[in-house]
Amino acid sequence: MPDPRTSGTGRTGRALAGRAFAHRLFWPLAALGALLVVNVIATPTFFNVRIQDGHLFGSLVDIVRNGAPVLLVAIGMTLVIATRGIDLSVGAVAAIAGAVACVYIVKSPASGAAGTAIVAITTALAVCVALGLWNGFLVSVIGIQPIIATLVLMVAGRGIAMLVTGGQITTVNNDTFAALASGYLLTLPVAALIALGVFAATQVVVRRTALGMLIESVGINPEASRLAGVRSRTIIWTVYVFAALCAGTAGLIIAANTHSVNANSLGLWIELDAILAVVIGGTSLAGGRFSLAGSLVGAMLIATLTRTIPNIGIPAEANYLFKALVVVMVCLLQSPKARAVLQRRGERPAGPPSPSSREEAVA
Amino acid sequence: MSITAPTGVLAGVGRFTPPRRYLPVLGTFALFIGMFGVGGIRYEGFADPQVFLTLLLDNAFLIVLAVGMTFVILTGGIDLSVGSNVALSTLIAARTLELGWPVVTVIGVVLLAGTLLGTAMGLLIHYFDIQPFIATLAGMFLARGLCYLISVDSIPIKNETFSAIAFGSITLPGGYYLGWTAVFALVIVGIAAYVLASTRFGRTVYALGGSEPSALLMGLPVAVTKVGVYAISGFCAALGGLLFALYTLSGYSLHAVGMELDAIAAVVIGGTLLTGGRGFVVGSLLGVLVLGTIQTFISFDGTLSSWWTRITIGVLVLVFVVLQRVLTRRS
């Protein structure tokens, strides 16, 4: 809306700053920037990226590589949350994917061959599609609330993964499979390329076609969307399958990174990290408008935070504490109520508020 | 929602139809009795009353957690922080006992810390409109983080009073015994059932779960109640943590990982609607007992692997959720 007061250049500048301030990615990006600054102060060489053996090496590259699984899960989660849903089962799905792939490789006669790895990965992803279909079935056909429908698989999933591995920590020696996590392509880590590739592809599909708008319309009002001729059932079903597929890919990367699968710990709490990334990115858990770019920033923020804690000399275990603080701060800054309080203060920048203005603020 | 009452189906089963709102709890009760019956037929010594009493003792902490969770879920919220809160409580107890604090002070500090954490989350949820899921997720991370700050390693509890309570039991007629912690958990269930059924606070909890705007328009104390249920859940988690500390006689930051899921599963199996407004504490008690029976089954069988517990719990949650869905659709 054009504002007559913002005519002068100074005012325009302030208006621009104000718009940046109000942008929903402002606070997450500011937090990310602040974390990076903290890192540079702690380790001046933090931004250094060097090429060694034809690969890019450096802390920033590590952050992107280690953040890949959470980013992948967050991409799927964003679309699910946009339809007013939530998928708690992604951690369990990741564990199942890792378990299926590793057990397939171990059981196959040529356990080191590239072909085995490809078949194993395909099988694991096919299983994930089936799991996603199951979640989508419960939510869209039976009509169970998403949080409960996916709770079923969250609880049972790790049991299923243990059933697949026989309760053992299965170790694999397959270079092609390991390359998923530790490989490099064109000097860049494969894991990061996969995650960013999925991000770019998803972004193109949802924003260059009507799909993104349809997902948002289902999230804003499923009933109205259905009456308007949107096939909300199919769309909801699709996003759960996509979320499971993303989770499965993340699980494969995690398993490849450790050359093994532990059904109990693989992807533990990754659903919470992913939901956190989505929320930090400004997508409301109430559904509707979503921002994949926001989730990307959120995932990178979490990865950077995980990296920052040991870097500034705090035990890595304290990471949870800081995660909690970040969640609370970002959520408070995004909460309309807290913003209203902040803006009321911000409107009176001249000096401490007089008693009368304080009364107005209260009123 | 149709106004006309559906006929048939239930009436066809028999003349006696209990009030519809008790159906889920009765279903859980029937399931529990059925499982115990099957166990008694299949395994020698399973039907012994002592097995049931041990079940209560082994799950005392989970019963208390499920009670707190019931309050939260009845308002339509969720509390993911209880597992971490339990771990934090065990660690605070172990650490302060190690420092030589008197037992009463230790218990007071633990309960206060848990209640404060719950209250803080409740305030965030009510006054800043942060979804319960996210606020309690933050609480979960916060509590785990604090655990690691206190100690990364497991701390044993060597206090004599604690050991005395942990191993103390009352003898029932027939030579059976029931641990003090189990008695304690049952007392909590009784108090919670009374509060929910017959106090102003309890009725407001149900009203909130039914419809928050309506509750507000009716002039009910929405803010106090909403923050209150999270405080109660925090208190129950701390109490559960104390019972868990008594059970394991140690404090450890990796205690109770994923216990919030067990608590939620117990509440769901107990017939409480996750959308809020309907459910009973007794149902949650039965839910915990069902979960415990599954474990007893597996330990009696010996050939079943531990992961069947999780799969069975998942299947049970599914069955109950689908049943709930069918029941609420019809009413």
CA distance B252 to B273: 33
Rounded to a whole number of angstroms, the distance between the first and last alpha carbons of chain B is 7
Residue B4 has pLDDT above 70, yes or no: no
Put simply, whether B268 touches A (Cβ < 8 Å) is: yes
| Confidence at A2, pLDDT banded by 50, 70, 90 | very low
Q: Could you say which of B129, B145, B268 has the minimum Cβ distance to residue A336?
A: B129
8 Å CB contact of B145 and A321:
yes
Residue B287 has pLDDT above 90, yes or no: yes
Q: What is the pLDDT of residue A360?
A: 38
Q: What is the CATH number of the domain that holds A275?
A: 1.10.3470
Separation in Å, CA B120 to CA B107, B240, B267: 20, 19, 23
Q: What is the pLDDT of residue B128?
A: 87
Q: What is the pLDDT of residue A272?
A: 83
Q: What is the pLDDT of residue B92?
A: 94
CA distance A311 to A44: 11
| Confidence at A243, pLDDT banded by 50, 70, 90 | very high
Q: What is the pLDDT of residue B330?
A: 56
Closest Cα partner for A124 from A244, A237, A243, A236?
Answer: A244
Q: Could you say which of B145, B308, B311 has the minimum Cβ distance to residue A318?
A: B145
Enumerate residues 231 to 260 of chain B having a beta carbon within 8 A of any beta carbon in chain A.
Answer: 253, 257
| Confidence at A352, pLDDT banded by 50, 70, 90 | very low
Q: What is the pLDDT of residue A254?
A: 92
| Burial status of residue A10 (CB atoms within 10 A of its CB: 0-12, 13-18, 19 or more) | exposed
Residue B85 has pLDDT above 70, yes or no: yes
Residue A312's Cβ-side half-sphere holds a number of Cα atoms within 13 Å equal to 16
| Confidence at B256, pLDDT banded by 50, 70, 90 | confident
Single-letter amino acid code for the residue at B159 = N
Residue A17 in domain: no
Residue B65 has pLDDT above 60, yes or no: yes
Put simply, whether B330 touches A (Cβ < 8 Å) is: no
CA distance A137 to A141: 5
Kindly state the average pLDDT of the residues A310-330: 79
- Write down the pTM of the prediction: 0.83
Single-letter amino acid code for the residue at B6 = P
Average pLDDT, chain A: 82
Q: What is the pLDDT of residue A275?
A: 87
8 Å CB contact of B128 and A331:
yes
Q: Could you say which of A86, A154, A286 has the minimum Cβ distance to residue B261?
A: A154
CA distance A311 to A35: 11
Share of chain B above pLDDT 90, in %: 40
3-class DSSP assignment, residue B224: helix
Q: What is the pLDDT of residue A198?
A: 94
Q: Which two tokens stand for residue B9?
A: 């189906």
3-class DSSP assignment, residue B119: helix
CA distance A138 to A85: 12
Single-letter amino acid code for the residue at A276 = L
Residue A342 in domain: no
Q: What is the pLDDT of residue B3?
A: 45
Residues in chain B: 331
CA distance B261 to A202: 32
8 Å CB contact of B313 and A155:
yes
Q: Supply the Cα-derived Rg of chain B in whole angstroms.
A: 20
CA distance B86 to B91: 9
Search chain A and give the residue with CA nearest B319. Answer: A152
| Burial status of residue B218 (CB atoms within 10 A of its CB: 0-12, 13-18, 19 or more) | exposed
Indicate the helix (H) or strand (E) that contains B179. strand B176-179
Residue A358 has pLDDT above 60, yes or no: no
Residues in B touching A323 (Cβ below 8 Å): 141, 145
8 Å CB contact of A156 and B264:
no
Residue A105 in domain: yes
Kindly state the average pLDDT of the residues B267-289: 90
8 Å CB contact of B275 and A145:
yes
Q: What is the pLDDT of residue B288?
A: 94
Residue A75 has pLDDT above 70, yes or no: yes
| Confidence at A196, pLDDT banded by 50, 70, 90 | very high
Tally of domains in chain A: 1
CA distance A30 to A72: 23
Angle between helix axes B281-301 and B307-330 (nearest 10 degrees) is 150
Residues in B touching A327 (Cβ below 8 Å): 134, 137-138, 141
Residues in A touching B261 (Cβ below 8 Å): 151, 154-155
CA distance A174 to A112: 5
The residue segments making up the domain with residue A302 are: 67-335
Q: What is the pLDDT of residue B2?
A: 43
Put simply, whether B139 touches A (Cβ < 8 Å) is: yes
* CATH number listed for the domain at residues B19-330: 1.10.3470
Enumerate residues 277 to 306 of chain B having a beta carbon within 8 A of any beta carbon in chain A.
Answer: 305-306
Q: Is the dihedral of CA B140, B145, B147, B150 positive or negative?
A: negative
> How far off is chain A from B278, nearest CA to CA, in Å?
16
CA distance A327 to A83: 22
> How far off is chain A from B178, nearest CA to CA, in Å?
30
Task: Choose the mutation target among B318, B322, B326, B329 for the interface with A, i.e. most A CBs under 10 Å.
Answer: B318
> How far off is chain B from A341, nearest CA to CA, in Å?
10
Separation in Å, CA A310 to CA A30, A189, A204, A274, A277: 21, 22, 36, 21, 21
Q: What ipTM is given for this predicted complex?
A: 0.78
8 Å CB contact of B322 and A163:
no
Name which of B13-17, B45-49, B122-126 the model is least confident about: B13-17
Search chain A and give the residue with CA nearest B253. Answer: A317
8 Å CB contact of A142 and B325:
yes
Name which of A246-250, B122-126, B209-213 the model is least confident about: B209-213
Task: Choose the mutation target among B73, B141, B278, B325 for the interface with A, i.e. most A CBs under 10 Å.
Answer: B141
**Which of A68-77, A276-285, B153-162 reaches the highest mean pLDDT?**
A68-77
Q: Which of the two residues, B84 and A5, has the higher pLDDT score? A: B84
8 Å CB contact of A321 and B138:
no
**Which of A60-69, A273-282, B110-119 reaches the highest mean pLDDT?**
B110-119
Name which of A145-149, A158-162, B183-187 the model is least confident about: A145-149
Q: What is the pLDDT of residue B14?
A: 55
> What is the residue whose two structure tokens read 């990115």?
A281
| Confidence at B314, pLDDT banded by 50, 70, 90 | confident
Enumerate residues 301 to 320 of chain B having a beta carbon within 8 A of any beta carbon in chain A.
Answer: 305-311, 313-315, 317-318
8 Å CB contact of B134 and A279:
yes
Q: What is the pLDDT of residue A4?
A: 46
Kindly state the average pLDDT of the residues B66-86: 93
Residue A362 has pLDDT above 50, yes or no: no
Name which of B5-9, B141-145, B317-321 the model is least confident about: B5-9
Angle between helix axes A90-107 and A232-258 (nearest 10 degrees) is 50
Residues in B touching A86 (Cβ below 8 Å): 133
Name which of A169-173, A249-253, A352-356 the model is least confident about: A352-356
Q: Which two tokens stand for residue A339?
A: 């913003």
CA distance A333 to B282: 40
Decide: A72 and A194 in contact? Cβ < 8 Å.
yes
Angle between helix axes B60-74 and B222-248 (nearest 10 degrees) is 170
Residue A82 in domain: yes
3-class DSSP assignment, residue B196: helix
| H runs (alpha helix) in chain B | 10-13, 23-42, 49-58, 60-74, 82-98, 103-127, 132-150, 160-167, 180-198, 200-210, 212-217, 222-248, 259-269, 281-301, 307-330
Search chain A and give the residue with CA nearest B316. Answer: A152
Q: What is the 3-state secondary structure (H, E, C) of chain A?
A: CCCCCCCCHHHHHHHHHHHHHHCCCHHHHHHHHHHHHHHHHHCCCCCCEEEECCEEEEHHHHHHHHHHHHHHHHHHHHHHHHCCCCCCCHHHHHHHHHHHHHHHHHHCCCCCCHHHHHHHHHHHHHHHHHHHHHHHHHHHHHCCCHHHHHHHHHHHHHHHHHHHHCCCCEECCCHHHHHHHHCEECCEEHHHHHHHHHHHHHHHHHHHCCHHHHHHHHHHCHHHHHHCCCCHHHHHHHHHHHHHHHHHHHHHHHHHHHCEECCCCCCCCHHHHHHHHHHHCCCCCCCCCCCHHHHHHHHHHHHHHHHHHHHCCCCHHHHHHHHHHHHHHHHHHHCHHHHHHHHHHHCCCCCCCCHHHHHHHHC
8 Å CB contact of A167 and B140:
no
